Amino acid sequence: MLERVTLDGAKPFTGYADRHDPESERLYARSGGQAMDWLCDAWRYRFNQLRSNRCKYGKDKTLVPIGGEPDTRSVSRSRSECSWLAAVPSLILESPTRIERVEWFTAVQRRKTLLGKRLKPGRMPRFKSYKRDGQRFVCWHNGGRNAVYRQVNRNHGIITITGQNPKGMSLPGEPLRYRILLHVRVSQPIREYTAIQVDWTNRTVVFNNTPTPVKHEPTGRAVGIDRGCVHAAADSDGRFMDLPKDRLKAIDREIRKRQKAQARRAGNAGYSSEREYAKSGKTSRAYRRTRLEIGRLHAKSKRILDDVYQKYTTRLVRENDLIVLENLRLANMSRRNKPVPDPLHEGGYLPNGQAAKHGLNRSLRQASMGRLSSMLAYKTRLAEGVGMILVNPAYTSQTCSRCGHVDKKNRESQAVFVCKKCSYTANADVNAARNILERGLDTLAVTSENLWGADGTPVEQGRKTNGNATRESVAVS
């Protein structure tokens, strides 16, 4: 999408040849490419400066900075002390502040959650490296102060990044100001944005913008949704949402094939694990190339899933005034089964269903059900007149949605529900979705009479206090 980069005005001053010696030769970016490399380096430098102030627990349980000596300099002080930062636009040097903080604290939060669920916490984010993270930078738009986009024709536009060389640092006869023009190809109209993210390694630009609300006309309809494994989702109207399983499986196969090859390469090079091999820094070219390919394949399947979920959730928000979801504790479903010791053999174990659950785990993960509720949460929040409720899903799959009879045996199979009392027959997921809707409507009725405002839109919500512990209430207005 980023086609080429050109310069206009002065040549940007990129520092002294000997970084700290003002007597040495002054360097300038002579081409758009050089200017981009320089901006990416500067952005990463500032990011790592901030990151160096983060601490970890050392050997004796004391906090130590993660990278040795922390660099606490401010933007302006760094600018005056580091010649290569002197001419970088401030909206580029300021942007790492927030990004670094968000990245760090989401990782802290994620580790806390995962450790709570006794899952692998994953590692903390590290310093940004040229090799691992590629050349990238972010420039804030700040309501038009920099990174200004201009449409040139239907499919092309130019983003202008402006900056200024320090006094007396421009080449003779040139002005102080420089302009870096990013010529981009765009596939859709650019909405209002808050920042641009430039990936110079992959030649892409992303405009950060706030999502626009889904258009919603009051329909008076409510829907319950059951998320499952056979169908990604089923609703109380008897409709299903399925993932493009064939496409996803094909991508999965491609990934596995490559992962096997990677393991083989590590083995051939004499390493016990692929991780050791990757860490050794002596990886082959084929290995590095395949690793990139694997990354791209993962990204591709993520895009496919995202697309499906976006379309589905938009449709739900457009067609319904109320959406009821089960409040799934995904962790409970994907946690390992307890080992069952074999009483006849010391140290032996009986089958505990883990093998079966492994398959379930995988398709669960594939369905990535959390995504559905998070997308619905923000879409219902933005759209006017749509509410979302989370209810406790206990027994929704065993309860008859016609007579309310609860029985484990009601569930004939994974797909079919047959009531033992009134012999009501339905698709098991749809039956569950109807129960979920029922629970949502019940919750609404008891939570508060003025939950629905005078104009018919749901207003304030609160936790229920009528002592019925099996129901949890309401999420979004």
With respect to Zn ion, which residue has the nearer C-beta, 78 or 435?
A: 435
For the chain, what is the largest distance between any 2 Cα atoms, rounded to a whole number of angstroms? Answer: 93
Distance of CA 226 to the CA centre of its chain: 23
With respect to Zn ion, which residue has the nearer C-beta, 73 or 402?
A: 402
- Choose the stretch contacting Zn ion; rule: CB under 5 A; options: 126-134, 146-154, 377-385, 418-426: 418-426
Q: How many Å apart are CA 308 and CA 42, to the nearest integer?
A: 38
With respect to Zn ion, which residue has the nearer C-beta, 195 or 430?
A: 430
Under the binding rule (CB under 5 A), the answer on residue 405 touching Zn ion is yes
User: Which helix (H) or strand (E) element contains residue 293?
Assistant: helix 285-319
Q: How many Å apart are CA 404 and CA 424, to the nearest integer?
A: 11
Residue 198 makes CB contacts below 8 A (sequence gap 6+) with: 2, 36, 39, 40, 136, 137, 138, 139, 182, 204, 205
Q: Interface residues for Zn ion in 385-404 (CB under 5 A)?
A: 400, 402-403
The token pair at 56 is: 């970890």
Contact residue for Zn ion among 36, 419, 430, 436 (CB under 5 A): 419
With respect to Zn ion, which residue has the nearer C-beta, 388 or 419?
A: 419
Burial degree of 259 (CB within 10 A; 0-12, 13-18, 19+): middle
Q: In 3D, which of 176, 145, 161 has the Cα closest to residue 38?
A: 161
The token pair at 420 is: 């033992």
With respect to Zn ion, which residue has the nearer C-beta, 196 or 419?
A: 419
CB of 470 to Zn ion, least distance (A): 19
Contact residue for Zn ion among 115, 230, 415, 422 (CB under 5 A): 422
Query: Terminal CA-to-CA distance of the chain, rounded, Å?
Result: 38
CB of 402 to Zn ion, least distance (A): 5
Q: How many Å apart are CA 215 and CA 380, to the nearest integer?
A: 11
With respect to Zn ion, which residue has the nearer C-beta, 83 or 401?
A: 401
Under the binding rule (CB under 5 A), the answer on residue 232 touching Zn ion is no
Under the binding rule (CB under 5 A), the answer on residue 287 touching Zn ion is no
The token pair at 287 is: 């290995």
CB of 239 to Zn ion, least distance (A): 22
Contact residue for Zn ion among 16, 104, 287, 424 (CB under 5 A): 424
CB of 446 to Zn ion, least distance (A): 24
- Choose the stretch contacting Zn ion; rule: CB under 5 A; options: 7-15, 342-350, 423-431, 453-461: 423-431
With respect to Zn ion, which residue has the nearer C-beta, 227 or 434?
A: 434
Q: What are phi and psi of 404, to 5 degrees?
A: 85, 5
- Choose the stretch contacting Zn ion; rule: CB under 5 A; options: 298-306, 340-348, 352-360, 424-432: 424-432
Site residues, Zn ion (CB under 5 A): 400, 402-403, 405, 419, 421-422, 424
